[in-house]
Amino acid sequence: MFADLLNSTSALPWKIGNTVIPAKRMPLLMGIVNVTPDSFFDGGKHNSPADAFEHAIFLVEQGADILDIGGESSRPGSAPVSEQEELDRVCPVVESLAQFAHIAEISGNNPRKFFISVDTTKAKVAEECMRLGANIINDISACQMDAQMPAVVARTQAAVVLNHMRGNFGTMQQDFKPYANVVAEVCEELDMRAKALITAGVEPSRICIDPGIGFGKSVQDNIDLMKSLDRMLQLGYPVLLGSSRKSYISGIHGLENSDRLIPTVSAGLIAALQGVSALRVHDVREAKESILYLEALKSNGTV
């Protein structure tokens, strides 16, 4: 029975830049780099381009495969940031990381390749970051907040993450309507958004979907989605999970005072067993070690 669990669903391939991430069980790790003063977990810790760059390189050294650079907090109740302010926050970090990767590659001193993602809902920010060397557009609105975003994704040939959310991140936890069937509804809405991007000219292999844990959902909704990640693979797109340190964890009985690290690591392992392609995490080292351990368990050869 345990062997069956280890040999369960495999992840789907995902095209990022010119690289096709092959179908495999072990997920990529997307390290979170918030260049903001108010993000829910680490707001203000890396609130300058220099500090954010240093933190990003630290995450790569810990095992991050993707660096997700964000200049606007999406925590419930957060205030919007102007386009120019977001550009000023994220563009220097993206440019520095792209230059670092290029120099390291041509010098032969880059033992770990990494991709650069921009966490934004603004088309201009996404397009400028892609021009500077980003590879992925991570849009928490599934490309709905800015009507120009689908065209930018298609034109830049970006890989894209479509996150499920209803409403906006300022009010999503106050104004959301209860789901009749959260798994079915999230799958249906993500499928609709993916098809809209394909219609706009986006290559299907570049699309990744995210169930939007914590985005306008109850504690039980989030748990139901966590138990059904493998069902989302039936849509035909790789799945990314962003559950790191999120507040719904504290709504679970007995975890009210948790720092949410151990539940986050546990969620990552559960997601990996269901075939998720990427985990978006604050704590890269802990996630990496847990995934390496799981990989050893499922290996048929020598450890």
Give the residue from 287, 207, 285 showing the smallest Cα distance to 243: 287
Q: Are 187 and 224 in contact (CB under 8 A)?
A: no
3-class DSSP state of 281: strand
pLDDT, averaged per 10 consecutive residues of the chain (303 residues), comes to 63 94 88 78 67 95 96 75 95 96 71 89 98 98 97 98 85 72 98 98 98 95 97 96 94 95 96 96 97 87 57
Which member of 246, 285, 288, 298 is catalytic? Answer: 246
Give the residue from 86, 73, 41 showing the smallest Cα distance to 247: 41
> 25 catalytic, yes or no?
no
> 246 catalytic, yes or no?
yes
DSSP label at 205? G
Token pair recorded at residue 274: 């269901």
pTM of the shown model: 0.92
Which member of 25, 206, 280, 288 is catalytic? Answer: 280
Residue 250 is predicted with a pLDDT of 94
Residue 166 is predicted with a pLDDT of 87
Residue 40 is predicted with a pLDDT of 46
Residue 105 is predicted with a pLDDT of 72
Name, in order, each residue with C-beta under 8 angstroms of 222's C-beta and a sequence gap of 6 or more: 213, 214, 243, 246, 248
Residue 231 is predicted with a pLDDT of 95
